[in-house]
Amino acid sequence: MTKKEEIAARLALLIKEVGPNQSQFGDKIQVSQSQISQVLGGHQAISGTVIVAIAEHLHDVNMNWLLRGDAPMFLSSLANNDDAIQALSRRVQDVERRIVGMEAQLTQLGEQGKG
């Protein structure tokens, strides 16, 4: 798949999420349905005009996702990821404390076995 096709595929996914169709999506971002159709049909690469329109009118869209496929589609999803990362970090700290406690117990058992 070419870069142009990859971006067109992600644009199609975005339209499904924000849509509900090319025409209404175009209205939301103030770009003609024809321009959107040209990109989706693979007849032209996404233009700077369309990219800027999406960024200006759909503030939650992650442009890294649209252009490169990185990260989630919507920036608000990143906030949810931060919460998950913090929860995971707390869990890792808890496991580390338990490991330290178990190591101390093993050391004590080893010392008792020698005595």
- The answer to pTM > 0.85 is no
Rounded Cα distance, 15 and 17, in Å: 5
Position 76 confidence tier, pLDDT thresholds 50, 70, 90: confident
Q: How many residues does the chain have?
A: 115
49 contacts: CB under 8 Å, gap ≥ 6: 31, 35
104 pLDDT higher than 80: yes
Quick one: tokens of 24? 């209404």
Quick one: tokens of 28? 């939301």
Place of tokens 């690469």: 45
Greater pLDDT, 28 or 77: 28
pLDDT tens profile 85-102: 676 678 888 888 888 888
78 contacts: CB under 8 Å, gap ≥ 6: 62, 71, 72
Identify the DSSP state of 60: T
Cis peptide before 20 (omega within 30 of 0): yes
pLDDT tens profile 2-49: 999 999 999 999 999 998 899 999 999 999 999 999 999 999 999 999
